Structure 1
Amino acid sequence: MHVVFRESHGLDETAMPFDPGQDPAKMIVLSFSDSDLGAFAAGWQRSAGRLPSLRLCNVVALKHPLSVDTYIERTASGAKAILVRLIGGEAYWPYGLASLRDLAQRRGIALAVLPGDGRPDAALEAYSTVPRSTLKRLGELCDSGGAVASQAALAQLALAGGLYAPPVIGEKTVPACGLYMPGSGVVASVHGVRRVAVVFYRSYLTSADLAPVDALINGFQVAGFDAYGIFVPSLKAAGAGAYVAALLGEAAHVAVINATAFSAKGADGVTPLDGPGCPVFQVALSTARRRDWVAASRGLSPADLAMHVVLPEVDGRIFAGIASFKSPGRRDPDLQFSRFAHRADAGRVAAIVARVQAWVSLAETEVARQQIAIVLSTYPGRAYQMAHAVGLDALASTEAVLADLATAGYACESTDLAQGLQTQVLNWPLSAYHAALAALPTAMQDDLASVWGNAMDDPACRDGMFHFNALQLGQVTVALQPERGRPERRSDSYHDLSATPRHGFVAFYLWLRAQGCQAMVHMGAHGTLEWLPGKSVALSAECWPEVLTGAMPVIYPFIVSDPGEAAQAKRRIGAVTLGHLPPPLAEADLPEGLARLEQLLDEYANAVGLDTARRNRLVVQIRDEAAALGLLDDLAIPAAASGIEAMVAIDRFVCDLKESRFGTALHVYGRGECGDSERQGLLDALAGVRVAPGPSGSPYRGRSDVMPTGRNLYSVDPRAVPSRNAQAQGVRLAEEVIRKHLQDHGDYPSALVVDLWGSATMRTAGEDFAMALHLAGLAPRWDDGSDRVSGFEVVPLLLLGRPRIDV
């Protein structure tokens, strides 16, 4: 596979000294959560000035000890009551907790310290100076959430500090799950025929942080849909999944929009959103500021990428884009607090609505009227490899698909594609291209002109017309993808994320859209569209892949053993990637050293954008592995070459080698062992209905679970955790934990708790899990073919050299 090499900055945070600049107040609320603080701001404002003065501050701003000291001296020392809400226990903010307890004991301040996740935490609560009954009531109100409950919590805090607070009138509880409409709030029922459900977190409702939710619902309503909201604590919370599934089952839905994070798949492989059978679209509510997104090529922070993109792919969701960013609002002069909240981006919301609308339109258009394009790659552009695809006979597959479409009721003709695509062309006037080009952002028009000059000088433009190698076969247009750059530099530019596409390439996709193409099927791995310049994920209106495809549904038959490159298409052009079998028994094994290098490159591809430290370690390991195999000399990679330069050359070599391993008996899509499921997957996608997700891997390397193919590929493999590289890092982490404990306590730890988070495990490929295993004296075993964990072995104490630790 080809991995993405790029530098990125601006989306990560580090702890630095910071002064919030707040004057003293009677009450202070500190929380890790912007939602928490937003709810308390709404509660205080609801009191209309009848509560004592209040300051709100995010604990993240006070992570540095100097920040804590400054805040206590300037602000907290004048308080009568302080409430702290934390996730992660006392280890998350030990200096701050100790300093506040000391202040409270010295000054007689009412201090309440509570866990922010609703789970009892005796160690945290022990920092409090208020009675247990007060702490319990505060916890109940905070966990309930909402403006009324937050006002009541502030009133309770005021009373604990010896201050006056009037009674709080209003419903103090918000249902765990429910229906929502902008302007009305929680509603009892919804109505409509073209229903679109927007699923979001209850915390957005309780903190009055609903801007992106309102924007999405309103956007779909303006587009003619009967849109409404469903709020849940999470899709895996007790009772929430059943509630959502029942609600979605009450009436037909044309689409489901999910604004919650993570995968919602249960042990049975089903999610609460599957019931309607319509496509489920994932949207990202970024935790970064918009200016950071604009400046960064990555698009999303590692945490956002993991939570809002990678893990939801396991459920088969289509990534629809980014809906909002977080930024501070205007500073409230009374609270001396700038609320950090979601700000909807009108342009991105419109793009999401357009993408969903295109899929719904596809579903609502009868088969006999659909307009479809099937696009075949030209890489590597040799005459004997026209319509090249890895492991797939793209010409025979296209002919098979045309036959299947005709059987399904499409009006499409059969012809000799190999002959027709070389000799026949379809034309588009240069004037029409200029008109379409004028709708692109000015910066992109200027970029195109500066790199490629005048459109009439493009090799595909003759006699005032663009000429495309394409056939019109009834409802279906079959075409060869044009060159993105210069033919003589095809190999170098194929995956170049900085190379502007030439006029002929741009014209081709604008032409497809101008012809009213409702869906594009790209036949086989892989084309160049998803490798054009732009952000890695969460694209903008100035990213070439989005500009050229617009909202058009993309359906992409893809070899099931190459998830990394399939992910590129899923995340950059919103493709439904339908896995197909590799050629039957045609894939010869790589030599052991090269197989290890291939696995490291695949792991690198998964680490990009998720974990910078892990990515950098892998760069070093890949270079070392290549050196041990003699590849650095064979590929003439100089010792002074940067890690990225070396990686590009090594990756190109391994990719070429992998592609050469297939014999002449290439797979034909929709035929063979999994022919029925592959055929049905394509027909379902063209019908605009949900395609079930499926894992990726080689069925000839012990991955029988990838069959039946024809499902929507995802790249995360829970059975590959920990990876070999993560295991090595986990061992180092475990040894450091033990060394520190020996240094501090003079003995080995007898028991440790390791809290594993799904997103962190995915970002690091299981480093924390590997650490826990090594602490317990266990080591994973891997299957040499698939690199999946096949079991664990108990390390003998003689080899371990220390006691086992209870984890």
Structure 2
Amino acid sequence: MKIGCVMWSGYIESMAEASRELDFLEINLKSLRDLEDEKTRIEFLDYLRDEADLILVSHSGFDGTVDELLSKVKDKLIINIGYTASFISPRVSSEQLSTIYRYLRLGGVENLRNALSYIGREFFDLDLKVPPPMEIQWEGIYHPESSCLFSSIDDYIKWYGEERITRASTVGILFYRSHVVTGDLEVEDALISALEERGLTVIPVFSWDFPNKEFEIAGNDSVIERFFIKDDKPLIDLLIDLQSSFLIHTEDRSVLNRMDVPIIKGITTYHRTEDEWREDMHGLGGELVWSVVMPEFEGIIEPLITGARVRDTAGGATSEHFSPLRERVEHLADRVLKWVNLRKKPTKDRKIVFVLHNSPCAGLESNVGAGSNLDTLESLSRILQRMREEGYAINDMPLDGEELIEKIMERKAISDFRWTSVDEIVKKGGAIHLLEKERYLSWFEKLPQDTRKSMIEGWGEPPGDAMVYKGRIVITGLDLGNVLVCTQPKRGCYGARCDGSVCKILHDPEIPPTHHYIATYRFFGEIWGADAIVHVGTHGNIEFLPGKSVGLSESCYPDLAISDLPHLYIYSVDNPSEGIVAKRRSYAALVDHMLPVMTESGTYGELNELERLIGEYELAKTSDHARAHALEHLILEAIDKANLNGEIESYENTEFEEVVRSAHNAISRIKDSLINKGLHVFGEAPEGEEKIELIASMIRFDEDVKRSFENDRERIKEAVSSILEDPDHERDDEIALKVRDISERIDLCKNEITNLLHGFDGGYIPPGPSGLPTRGRWDVLPTGRNFYTLDPTRIPTRAAWRVGRKLATNLIEKYERETGKIPENCGMILFSTDITWADGEELSQILYLIGVEPEWDEPGRVKDLRIIPLNELKRPRIDVTIRISGIMRDSFMQVIELLDDAIRRVAELDEPPDMNFIRKHALSQRETGLEWERATTRIFGSKPGTYGAGVNLAVNASAWETEEDLANVFIYWSGYAYGKGIQGRESHQELLNQLKTVNLSFRSNPTDEHDLFGCCCYYGYHGGLTAAARSLSGKDVKAYHGDTRNPSDVQVTDLSDEIERVVRTRLLNPKWIEGMKEHGYRGASEISGKVTKVYGWQATTHEVDDWIFNEITRRYILDDEMREFFEEKNPWALEEIGRRLLEAYERNLWNPDPQVLERLKKHYIEIEGWMEERIEDVSGTQGGSIDIFTMEDIESWKKKMERTISEK
């Protein structure tokens, strides 16, 4: 009897052993891994066709490989119990199939042997006695020191020792039953041993994970109830999940809340050996979804790798088992110990570190406590107050956020920068510890050798030059008893200055953190004795340090920095892209926060006047022609005064009605924009009118609301108000139900602080979705949860495809209208936010530009791509040059591979080059000697393990002189290709080739919650690509912006128009300014940050009009009241604004009104005086001077750039 058999690779060894004693049997075993090899697959097919009497499939996989084999031998006797269960022979009865299925699923060598004997008896008439399937328990407790398995927790406790369990902290482990059945338990044994060596009790539970009625298999919800909970109380202090996919396979996951312990994810790489994992900067590859993404939906934290696959090809089939990664297992055990100790420690003894972010690139002194949409300082003050109320030992506690920042800045408890020297920090008491070199070396010498080498190459021998005082490393912060408040160390620069000579990360994106950085984080745990660390606000830099994307090693810097400290991170609910990076790379348990209330921008000043005149004109034009004529002149003057000339079509040769229409549209675009009303304070929920405004902003695009109120926001707000003031719920239509639901969710946001403190208790922080509330995602409320992202297999959605098609069409039409030609090559910026905010709208746009359409299955997953025929597309296929972000690379590689596949399929089409620009440009590049695979490369990003485009660093550090300098930085940072089987291949030449033919640059934005001035990465990427394309091509590359805030009214505008809209609605808008002023130092910091980004856009794109700089200067520098505000609350922020304005002038980026310039210079001297009064001794600091060092001035940087630049 000859059997060809396909199985899980982990079962191959057991099946081989089972078949050895059966002399009637010859078996040819193959795993799916074996069948990935084409030669092996062909040989196995020949065996099945020519020799096999029967084909047994117990694992058919998901990729169709086995089904394809079976389709070629379907006349054979086939028994298939794989997932697809196809091609089963008619000779096999349902009873026989069920019996075989039971043998194989129960597992174990005995059952596998009996399954083979059963097959021999039933199908080959062999006279064999076959015992029924031997029952092996589906769930139970395993321990390597016990000779038996335990079916009850009481039996296990009795064996383990009740006194031992009650005395120590207890950790549960949940792993697969299959490992018990096959004896593949090395990983579990190593983990149990590591935990017990640390004095922890361990309850290692195995299960099948999926419930199954036929086999009477309990699901993991029942398993958890049975083994980890007793008398409604958890028996454990923490659970380690070693299974993949979801922990609970039902919608009801309430058992996790009842268990209420942290759940840590231990990962075994089922598809990679240790060497393969170590070599891959992505870390997990295709296993990301199963091992990390799905568990995140259940609030499972800290994805730490514990084991890797070991292959054995002896006997012709690839068998596999799993071996522990010893150092990673020990590291996980260390982190577990810290978590359970935190849980057990009395509140009064817990020691917590709070880290405030302060991006030096935005002006370090002006930017302490940076955090998107969050008043971090007031929030931290509220958290501290609550902690003291609950028994935490806190001394010298600030009364509010204002007093907190006063203490920090009075003591200079920050890093050195332009207005702060290390000497001043020590003198004023900002140093909480001076770390001796010897103590630091005791830590440094334990780091991996390659890590030490990189740090020395980057920063010199310890202690280096960063934050060193008399040979000792300066650790700064406020010591408040059992709480430390610190600012995050500088990531890639050093010294009391900001220029191209000290911005080392600009020279080398892979540069490790400084000695000071590592020393600070090690100080927290190893000297000060921290029990947990909290990063406050979105976002810092620890999660973006060099290293793997996920599944970090001991050489990855986020892992080294956070060490064994439990990590909680206060994060904005609307930023899943970056929050997920924090979860995966710095092991953060997120506690998300609400956004500030979003309200209509409205109009003001000259815009108000113009709106009033247009209203009068509309009334007069039919009844008072003389008045209407007079108003025409007044309207034209008002347009000039409001600086709307650039946004309104030339009225010299235009009908006046068209001028009025354009003016009205421009005002409406400003007036109807949403702006944030100040900043959110953690633990607060809006009430009254603010709640009404917030709910109205969330439901405005709801279909029921649009039908009822026709986008009339005043009517929407009136309806919301009416519903909330209806205590008897007399109105019960769909809109009323939604409004009440949102209202209740908003009220629950007051629990943000409660949930954070529950994390300090070592409790379970419940998971929740993430996204943009004002795009109808009120399911992200209540906040205070540990958010997750989305299923990437559903991207793009059908709705996003409809928007993306419109974006593509509008983009082509706009370019053709302005130039008379269709664009051949569009430079596209693709961020992960397109996926997490917009479900792939810009992705869809790119697909439609190249003439490809997704195909979805019934549940909405993308199953394939369809090439749209040219006769259906009715235009050429447009080439694309795509710059992806590092987060896009790390989080959505499936999407990148989908896009790469689409591009390469289009390049292969036998179509005329003038109808297929991808093919046209690829053929042209191939003629230069470039391989076809490289000539069709279109997706570029930063080097694996690094993030950013570098351009914003050069701009902020004034490390450039010409557009070419910025272009070179963009090319240097961006020249790495990604796609199917391409993980960061160096491809600077391919990028250069593509940039030379780019006609336009583009990025879209689906929300008002974030704008062009919200992050320096926006101009770093989009502005950087624009500068590079213009520099290389010598052409006027158009810069466009996509506006999908209203999905039913998709627009493509000039980038300059969008810059003006955001400037008008925020930076020049008294309503927005007053909201910021309410937050004192933090509000001033937000204003300063946005102004510096206006400068960044001008430096990279030259799309900022002179009037904008003039008005910013008038509004902030020349206005007495605003100057007084900044002087009192945050003088460093106003100095940063003034300095950037002067730099814009000196670089000929701004041609100012002469009077404005004269007064700016006068007041800047006054502002510099404020600085000098505060620091007393300015020697050793850069102060306000602008020192330009480009790559030409820095030899080491120049050498790194030379090869790339020479290729141009």
Query: Under a length normalisation based on structure 2, what TM-score does the superposition of the two structures give?
Result: 0.49
**Structure 2 contact 491–541 (Cα < 8 Å) conserved:** yes
- Name the structure 2 match of 1:694: 768
- Name the structure 1 match of 2:330: 350
* Cα 1:701/1:76, change in 2 over 3 Å: closer
TM-fit CA distance, 1:321: 0.3
- Name the structure 1 match of 2:350: 370
Matched, 1:488 2:499: yes
Query: Gaps (5+ residues) in structure 2?
Result: 158-164, 412-429, 603-672, 687-747, 802-839, 858-862, 870-890, 900-1004, 1010-1043, 1049-1208
- Name the structure 1 match of 2:110: 148
What one-letter code is carried by the residue in structure 2 that aligns with 1:341?
H
Could you report, residue by residue, the CA deviation over 1:24-67 in whole angstroms, capped at 9, with x for unpaired residues? Answer: xx64442252234244134346x5x7674543211442356653
Matched, 1:184 2:147: yes
TM-fit CA distance, 1:686: 0.8
- Name the structure 2 match of 1:205: 180
Could you report, residue by residue, the CA deviation over 1:90-134 in whole angstroms, capped at 9, with x for unpaired residues? Answer: 9543452245456x5xxxxxx4421224x8x4x4212x7677765
TM-fit CA distance, 1:216: 2.5
TM-fit CA distance, 1:435: 1.5
**CA distance, structure 2, for counterparts of residue 263 and residue 395 of structure 1:** 37
TM-fit CA distance, 1:162: 5.3
**Structure 1 contact 313–714 (Cα < 8 Å) conserved:** yes
* Cα 1:263/1:132, change in 2 over 3 Å: closer
Q: Which moved more, 1:273-282 or 1:209-218?
A: 209-218
**CA distance, structure 1, for counterparts of residue 554 and residue 127 of structure 2:** 50
Q: Secondary structure at the match of 1:582?
A: coil
- Name the structure 1 match of 2:484: 477
TM-fit CA distance, 1:710: 1.2
Residue in structure 1 matching 2:539, options 523, 526, 537: 526
- Name the structure 2 match of 1:300: 284
**CA distance, structure 2, for counterparts of residue 434 and residue 738 of structure 1:** 55
Q: State the Cα RMSD in Å.
A: 4.0
| Number of residue pairs matched by the alignment | 649
Could you report, residue by residue, the CA deviation over 1:638-680 in whole angstroms, capped at 9, with x for unpaired residues? Answer: xxxxxxxxxxxxxxxxxxxxxx997682222223445631110
Residue in structure 2 matching 1:425, options 425, 431, 455: 431
**CA distance, structure 1, for counterparts of residue 52 and residue 319 of structure 2:** 21
Q: Secondary structure at the match of 2:540?
A: coil
Matched, 1:240 2:206: no
**CA distance, structure 1, for counterparts of residue 327 and residue 24 of structure 2:** 40
**Structure 2 contact 533–567 (Cα < 8 Å) conserved:** yes
Matched, 1:444 2:454: no
Q: Secondary structure at the match of 2:379?
A: helix
* Cα 1:114/1:533, change in 2 over 3 Å: same
* Cα 1:551/1:165, change in 2 over 3 Å: farther
What one-letter code is carried by the residue in structure 1 that aligns with 2:189?
D
What one-letter code is carried by the residue in structure 2 that aligns with 1:426?
I
**CA distance, structure 2, for counterparts of residue 80 and residue 242 of structure 1:** 43
Q: Secondary structure at the match of 1:186?
A: coil
1:504-583 correspondence to structure 2 within 5 Å: 504-515=516-527, 516-583=529-596
- Which has the higher Rg, Structure 1 or Structure 2? 2
What one-letter code is carried by the residue in structure 2 that aligns with 1:113?
I
* Cα 1:174/1:767, change in 2 over 3 Å: farther
**CA distance, structure 2, for counterparts of residue 495 and residue 313 of structure 1:** 36
TM-fit CA distance, 1:788: 12
**Structure 1 contact 362–686 (Cα < 8 Å) conserved:** yes
* Cα 1:147/1:195, change in 2 over 3 Å: farther
Could you report, residue by residue, the CA deviation over 1:737-787 in whole angstroms, capped at 9, with x for unpaired residues? Answer: 8999x9xxxxxxxxxxxxxxxxx999559999xxxxxxxxxxxxx998899
**Structure 1 contact 258–282 (Cα < 8 Å) conserved:** yes
**CA distance, structure 2, for counterparts of residue 90 and residue 536 of structure 1:** 25
**Structure 1 contact 372–519 (Cα < 8 Å) conserved:** yes
Q: Which moved more, 1:548-557 or 1:143-152?
A: 143-152
What one-letter code is carried by the residue in structure 1 that aligns with 2:770?
S
Q: Secondary structure at the match of 1:342?
A: strand
- Name the structure 2 match of 1:96: 69
* Cα 1:92/1:561, change in 2 over 3 Å: same
**Structure 2 contact 4–47 (Cα < 8 Å) conserved:** no
TM-fit CA distance, 1:574: 0.9
What one-letter code is carried by the residue in structure 2 that aligns with 1:715?
T
* Cα 1:259/1:273, change in 2 over 3 Å: farther
Identity score, percent: 24
**CA distance, structure 1, for counterparts of residue 63 and residue 277 of structure 2:** 33
**CA distance, structure 2, for counterparts of residue 172 and residue 496 of structure 1:** 61
TM-fit CA distance, 1:469: 2.5
* Cα 1:28/1:273, change in 2 over 3 Å: farther
**Structure 1 contact 27–158 (Cα < 8 Å) conserved:** no
**Structure 2 contact 79–92 (Cα < 8 Å) conserved:** no
Could you report, residue by residue, the CA deviation over 1:349-372 in whole angstroms, capped at 9, with x for unpaired residues? Answer: 112211111111110111111121
**CA distance, structure 2, for counterparts of residue 420 and residue 559 of structure 1:** 26
- Name the structure 2 match of 1:114: 80
* Cα 1:171/1:113, change in 2 over 3 Å: closer
Query: Under a length normalisation based on structure 1, what TM-score does the superposition of the two structures give?
Result: 0.72
What one-letter code is carried by the residue in structure 1 that aligns with 2:758?
D
Could you report, residue by residue, the CA deviation over 1:206-233 in whole angstroms, capped at 9, with x for unpaired residues? Answer: 3333332333333323332332333332
* Cα 1:320/1:150, change in 2 over 3 Å: same
- Name the structure 1 match of 2:906: none
**Structure 1 contact 355–551 (Cα < 8 Å) conserved:** yes
Could you report, residue by residue, the CA deviation over 1:474-523 in whole angstroms, capped at 9, with x for unpaired residues? Answer: 00111111111224369994998622111211211121122221111111
Q: Which moved more, 1:445-454 or 1:214-223?
A: 214-223
TM-fit CA distance, 1:706: 2.1
- Name the structure 2 match of 1:327: 310
What one-letter code is carried by the residue in structure 2 that aligns with 1:174?
I
**Structure 2 contact 261–763 (Cα < 8 Å) conserved:** yes
Residue in structure 2 matching 1:683, options 757, 768, 771: 757
1:783-802 correspondence to structure 2 within 5 Å: none
**Structure 1 contact 721–765 (Cα < 8 Å) conserved:** no
What one-letter code is carried by the residue in structure 1 that aligns with 2:16?
A
**Structure 1 contact 39–207 (Cα < 8 Å) conserved:** yes
**CA distance, structure 1, for counterparts of residue 29 and residue 250 of structure 2:** 41
Q: Secondary structure at the match of 2:353?
A: strand
**Structure 1 contact 556–575 (Cα < 8 Å) conserved:** yes
- Name the structure 2 match of 1:613: none
What one-letter code is carried by the residue in structure 2 that aligns with 1:198?
I
Could you report, residue by residue, the CA deviation over 1:232-285 in whole angstroms, capped at 9, with x for unpaired residues? Answer: 322565531442242122252111111222234577552544431111112222
What one-letter code is carried by the residue in structure 2 that aligns with 1:679?
I
- Name the structure 2 match of 1:667: 680
**CA distance, structure 1, for counterparts of residue 187 and residue 763 of structure 2:** 26
- Which of structures 1 and 2 has the larger relative contact order (alpha carbons within 8 angstroms, sep 6+)? 1
What one-letter code is carried by the residue in structure 2 that aligns with 1:451?
G
**CA distance, structure 2, for counterparts of residue 386 and residue 89 of structure 1:** 50
Q: Which moved more, 1:272-281 or 1:678-687?
A: 272-281
TM-fit CA distance, 1:538: 0.6
**Structure 2 contact 3–25 (Cα < 8 Å) conserved:** no
Q: Secondary structure at the match of 1:124?
A: coil
Residue in structure 1 matching 2:385, options 403, 406, 421: 403
TM-fit CA distance, 1:525: 1.1
* Cα 1:761/1:549, change in 2 over 3 Å: closer
Residue in structure 1 matching 2:236, options 253, 257, 262: 253
**Structure 1 contact 298–536 (Cα < 8 Å) conserved:** yes
TM-fit CA distance, 1:310: 1.1
Matched, 1:280 2:263: yes
- Name the structure 2 match of 1:755: none
- Name the structure 2 match of 1:41: 16
**Structure 1 contact 497–534 (Cα < 8 Å) conserved:** no
Q: Secondary structure at the match of 2:136?
A: coil
**CA distance, structure 2, for counterparts of residue 539 and residue 738 of structure 1:** 33
